[in-house]
Amino acid sequence: MKPIKFFPFLLLLTACSSGTPKYDATGTFEATDVIVSAEASGKLLSFDIEEGAALKAGQQVGIIDTIQLYLKKLQLEASVKSVEGQRPDIIKQVAATKEQIVQAKRERDRVANLLRVGAANQKQLDDAESLLEVLQKQLVAQNSTLKNSDQSLTWQSSSVGIQVAQIEDQLSKCHITSPLTGTVLAKYAEAGELAAPGTPLFKVADMEQIYLRAYITSEQLANVKLGQKATVYADYGDDIRKEYPGVVTWISETSEFTPKTILTKNERANLVYAVKIAVKNDGMLKIGMYGGADFSD
């Protein structure tokens, strides 16, 4: 029974030693991930996500307590109404003075006519013109004072409006959303816990556009360039491999030692360059999966 038991293993070794397929570079698949942190302080009222869940960009997944901020917003909005209620009605407030000026002009004209026929004296005309001048100056002063008051209230209302906008921004930050379309890789908090700005809540990764991080030698570096097409192979085990079209999107500017768990002196002398090859994920590729690349295309 023992020879039969180990025979498939011997065949696997033989297949591996045949060197098919031969890769120009090998590595593992990785994705662009983002750790989403809280932007506000308070209790997590809801946080409805699970690891492995698919999210869309902008999708709300939780909310932090907003009661105090909402009450503050109501208070500021009431202050805005109070300020607007103090705004003077310039037209109405100067209407009486304008009417007095109209009457003063009539009186001056009447005295002038009487003076021409000898029914009034010069002093009466001078007094009428003096009263008209005083009323006109009074109107100018009233307009200036009321406009200054109106401008001051405008600035005050604008200041309170800015505070309302700040509260609205803080309220929006209480709504936890996904920054990208992707899959939840990790969840760091639960509903009911207290959150503070900077507290990690979850990690999400874009699994539609995945990358093979592979390594090439300095000799290969001259034949690999950004934008170059490549064939990527995903190794699913048991000699099951799948082929994907890929594009080189990044080449490291510095070399590094070949990334292995155990390095010998000879291996330490072999410097390699990391490259990233973008691949459209069909749902089968996973982070950390082994793969290879062929640049001969």
Q: Are residues 99 and 59 in the same domain?
A: no
From 154, 173, 192, the end of a domain falls on 173
N-term to C-term CA, the chain: 47
Q: Could you tell me which residues come within 8 angstroms of residue 256 by beta carbon, excluding any fewer than 6 positions away?
A: 271, 272, 273, 274
Q: What is the mean pLDDT of residues 258-272?
A: 50
Q: Judge whether 155 lies within some domain.
A: yes
Separation of alpha carbons 185 and 50, rounded Å: 9
Total number of domains constituting the chain: 2
Q: Which amino acid is at 114?
A: L
Q: What is the mean pLDDT of residues 171-200?
A: 94
pLDDT 10s digits, 8-29: 323 333 334 344 457 888 889 9
Asked if the bond preceding 21 is cis, omega within 30° of 0, the reply is yes
Range of the domain at 211: 21-65+184-294
Q: What is the pLDDT of residue 56?
A: 93
From CA 50, how far away is CA 61, in angstroms rounded? 10
State pLDDT tens for residues 245-260.
999 999 998 887 776 5
Q: Are residues 169 and 72 in the same domain?
A: yes
Strand order in the sheet with 60-64: 175-177, 60-64, 42-47, 194-195
> For residues 266 and 95, which has the higher predicted lDDT (pLDDT)?
95
Q: Indicate if 157 and 206 belong to the same structural domain.
A: no
Question: What pLDDT sits at residue 198?
Answer: 94
Last residue of a domain, one of 151, 173, 195: 173
Please report whether residue 278 resides in a domain.
yes
pLDDT tens for 106-140 read 999 998 898 888 888 888 889 989 999 998 999 89
Token output for 86? 């103090």
For residue 8, tell me if it sits in a domain. no
Contact 6, 168 (CB under 8 A): no
Task: Indicate whether 47 pLDDT > 60.
Answer: yes
Predicted local confidence at residue 58, as pLDDT:
94
Whether residue 15 is contained in a domain is answered as no
Which of 173, 199, 225 finishes a domain? 173
Upper half-sphere CA count for residue 42 (Cβ side, 13 Å): 20
pLDDT at 179: 94
Residues 248, 238: Cα–Cα separation, whole Å? 28
Q: Are residues 149 and 222 in the same domain?
A: no
CB 46 within 8 A of CB 62: yes
